[in-house]
Structure formats: structure tokens, C-alpha cells
Structure 1
């Protein structure tokens, strides 16, 4: 699925841009307060020149729902709900692109989703494909595929948290022409992971960026909610897989900003005179859909 919206009329083609992730500490169920705090941080990022700002997963509600009934009560339609409308208005007022995690309600179905808004208003919605832990008790798996949105500074896709454990997500986004992936996330510690030691999520994000020539803007949350600690340590990863900003702290709200240049990012996929991370794919061995549905050869 592909969405194409902003052609950047009146702007120079593909200008440089600053990308930002905003690390927040939402309070479970305190939607109005969460929105206000996130908006203040988004304004700070925009004031520092950011053209794209990414908020964490479920940034307006908190993450650890006690029941499906609580999740239903806190979820909102997208884009018609009050959180969506507040974020859309914020993006328009600041003239930025904003990606924000939200609990989306569609009838009696719930989705762990992200709203995408821009200076011209609502652009679209991404719904998390891979559910983690108790999310399976509340949410439906995403059913909108992997949309890619045009912006004046590059093509934007979205993945949410556990989606990042599946390399197929980033490869398919790259094959659809994505340049930047916004990653709202609520990373939790993996087995053996310490608060300030190596983070598995960082390794996965850096690998995905390098092997697909993508920039990843990973906005995490901090704090502890109903006994669940969160990792924090948001990062922005450049298209060659190296950190462009971060990691942020493991325990404080924070803004990370990094520059983005589309020409440089796309040229970076050419590793040397022979090798290009996308063109070198062996489509004679595995098809553009990553071999889905192809039976393995008998040995």
C-alpha cells in the first residue's frame, strides 16, 4: 500500500532537513496531560529547526493497559478523535511533519497505530503489524500494510517497536522507495540487557538502516508503568547504519536532532564501485516479496 500526498509545491526539490525524535514519559490514562507535555517538546524540536518530529508509541495514553475495557475507553478514532486533531493542528501550526503513536479505535476493533500529519494536515495512518506481549489481548494486527508518504525532503515510512525485529518490514519499505522510517517505540529490556549497556533494539535498528540504506528515527519513552520499565535511549540512525544522534538517556525526557540529506542518503547505498545494498539483491533466488509462498527445495 502506498500513499503519496505532499509534492512540496513552492519548495526547492528535496531540501536538507533536520529530523527529531522526542523521548517522553507519558502517564497511564492521563491523555490531556500527555498531549500537553508532548506538544511542548514538539514545539521545542520545531524551534530548533526540525522538519520531521517523531513521538513514542502510544504517546497519548500510556502503554500498560489493565484490561481491554480500559484500552477501549482510552482509544480514539483516527483522524477524527481529539488526540489526532490536536496533533494535526500542531503539525499545521508549526509547519512540520509529525508521527505520533496512538491507540486507534475503529468500531469495536483496536489498533496500536501511528498518525502521520504534515503542514497540510492529516496524511495517513500506520497500524503496527507485529504485536508484543499483552498487546495481543487488546489490539488487532495491523491491516494497512506498509504505506510510504512523500515529503519535500524524502519518502517517509513508519514502523512501531516490535516491527523492528522483522527485517522484512524495512526491506519492503526500502523497495517501495522509502528514505526515512519513523519508529515510535516503547522498548522494554531484553533478557540480559542492562539500563546503560548494549541495547538489542539499537543493534537491530543499525543493521536495518545499513542493509537497506534507510534513516531510522526511533523515539522511545522512559519511566516505569504498572511495574514495566522502559528502555529510553532513543536514537537516530543514518542510512549507512551509524548513529547520527543518541542514544538518549535511559531515564529522562529528551530531544534528539540529526541532519538529513536525501542525496547523500541515497548515494550511501552504493557501498563501492561494485556493490549497492538494494540492487545487489538476488531476485533470481528470492522474489521481491522476500520469497513468501515459495516452497523450499528438497535436499
Structure 2
């Protein structure tokens, strides 16, 4: 039963080196509290609210930039860390999540479902999420709006993911009093329908007049919120069900599927 964390350090738009320092500090603190997986927000190195693609290009990093590759030596080697950055690859820009662990870069995932103004800045990725094998679990990775397409978390779970890392930037939207953010509700449903814990790392505060939801949360495999924090660290032990999808003596969320009817 791994301990997982979602961190929401203060992100300063445009200050890449300061933001990287904030990410490292938050991950180290979470590791000291026992976390084995730590997720930080989407586009955490740059900020999110770009004026245009030109501004984003100036704040984007190549995947082999030393600022990123050196993180393998700065982050705790026994912790898997996931965080978002703006990636520059030739003439194209991607909204990307880096996965770092065991002292090295393990993988990168390029967001495949772009939200609103992102479409004027980024190229969509070619894969509906990413799978990364670690020593202790098979990690699924998606980014923000990806999770609003049920096929993405379900597809990752069907492919063997035992936990989903979800860096996000959720703009605050109106909701009835006492209700969870709609994106949280969708994550709870995705977790419950596939017995797939989800670690959500969201922004807090605001950026360029865009208020953030502050929806960092750990969703367990039954769809319940194990911990949530507006800022700081959400931390919880989560049970993984990579093979056991039974939800009682007569039902199984995977075995009961009837894809021939869908």
C-alpha cells in the first residue's frame, strides 16, 4: 500500500528556475513524510496562462535541457516524481509531463486533449496517456483535460495501470454550495469504475486573473477522497488493485464488461 502525495507549490509565471526549486523543495518534503509517488501540477515550470505561442516558446524547455536532466540527481531517487512543463521540440510546443525516478528521467507524456487556448499554443500528443513501469507499481500518466474523456483512465487501467498521476490546472468554475469541483467528481467516477487510485495535483491562487480551483486530492480505488488540500501536500496511503477488479462475490468491473455491445 504505497503512500502517495500531490503537491501544489507556489508557481511564479515565467520564472522557470524558481519554479523548479519550488518543485524540488515540495517533493523532498513529501518524501520526508513517506511519499513514494509525488505529483506536481501541469506546466509547473512555466505557468499556464500564456498570451500566445511566442510567449510560451520563450518559456519552453527541450526535453534534454540540463534544467530537467539534472533533476534526476536532485530529487529523491526512491520517489517517483511527475510534473508538467512546456516542451519545445523543433517548431512544435507540447504540454508535457515528465516522470523522474531512480535518479533518472523515466519518461515524458505529451497531453493529447488540449483545452481552450492551449489549442493556439500546443500540438496535441499522439497517445491517450502513458504507462511507466516502476519497481512497485505500473504508473499511468495523463494531464488535466485528458481525464474528462472516460476512455483515457479506463484505457490506462485496462492496459495494466495500477495508479494514475494527474497533473492539472483547473480554472475555478461556478458550482452549487457544498459540491466538489466537477473535475473532482469526474476523477472519483473514473477511479471507482476501474478501481484505479488517482493522484491529482492542482494549482492554487490565481495567475493573470485566472483563479485556480485548488483541487489537489488523492482519490482511492473505491472513488472516495482519501485526502485533499488547496495548497501544500495531500498525502495518503492507497491500496492498489492491478489485477483484482472484483467489487463483490458476483461482480467485477472488468470481467463484467461487454464490449461487443458498446
Short-chain TM bin: over 0.9
Contact 2:94 2:124 in 1 (8 A): yes
User: Equivalents in 1 of 2:51, 2:127: separation in Å?
Assistant: 27
- The structure with the larger Rg is 1
Q: Alpha-carbon deviation of 1:72? A: 0.6
Partner of 1:204: 186
Partner of 1:216: 198
Partner of 2:153: 170
Q: Are 1:161 and 2:144 an aligned pair? A: yes
Contact 2:77 2:103 in 1 (8 A): no
Cα pair distance change 1:120/1:88, threshold 3 Å:
closer
Partner of 1:85: 69
Partner of 2:30: 45
Q: Alpha-carbon deviation of 1:193? A: 2.5
Q: Alpha-carbon deviation of 1:145? A: 4.0
Of 266, 270, 275, 2:251 maps to 275
Q: Are 1:259 and 2:237 an aligned pair? A: yes
Deviations 1:33-65 (A, max 9, x none): 111112111110011111111010000100001
TM-score, length-scaled by structure 1:
0.83
Contact 2:61 2:87 in 1 (8 A): yes
> What value does the CA root-mean-square deviation take over the aligned residues?
1.7
User: Equivalents in 2 of 1:120, 1:83: separation in Å?
Assistant: 14
Deviations 1:163-191 (A, max 9, x none): 1110000111011000111000001123x
Deviations 1:127-164 (A, max 9, x none): 11111111011000112443211112211011111111
Unaligned runs of 5+ in 2: none
Q: Alpha-carbon deviation of 1:67? A: 1.7
